[in-house]
Structure 1
Amino acid sequence: MTSSATSPLSIGHSTSAIRSLMLQLAAGALLGMVVLYGVAFAESPFAHNAAHDVRHITVKPCH
């Protein structure tokens, strides 16, 4: 019995798959930076205090 399974990145689709992956990674990084900036410098005490509490929970310095 032979298997006709192919790799996830077959030769015909490798360029578009890599381009799609890079676009997804860039969009995720951009979204993360926007959220981080938006919460870190938020005027809302609720958002700022929530971010402050997360920094303490994850044992990261914040002062």
Structure 2
Amino acid sequence: MVTKSAATAVSVSTSKIIPLSMTALLGLFVVGFVGFSHMEVVHNAAHDSRHSFAFPCH
């Protein structure tokens, strides 16, 4: 027998799958687009952003 709290726990974890997967896809798109972009403006904007957050990039 499934209790109400167990059913709620399953529905909550299932409801997080779509937002988490969409966030992961967006992140992969942004990293892939910026990382392999041939547009100098996009690369320089990402490069400056990494330096402003003190993130090593090279």
Q: Fold match, TM over 0.5?
A: yes
Q: Does 1:15 align with 2:2?
A: no
* Aligned match of 2:35: 40
Identity %: 39
Which of 46, 51, 58 is the aligned partner of 1:51?
A: 46
Task: For 2:11, give the aligned amino acid.
Answer: S
Aligned counterparts of 2:38 and 2:11: Cα–Cα separation in 1? 41
Aligned counterparts of 2:56 and 2:13: Cα–Cα separation in 1? 37
TM superposition score normalised by structure 1: 0.68
TM superposition score normalised by structure 2: 0.73
Instruction: Report the structure, 1 or 2, having the larger helix content.
Output: 2
Gaps of 5+ in 2: none
Aligned counterparts of 2:18 and 2:10: Cα–Cα separation in 1? 12
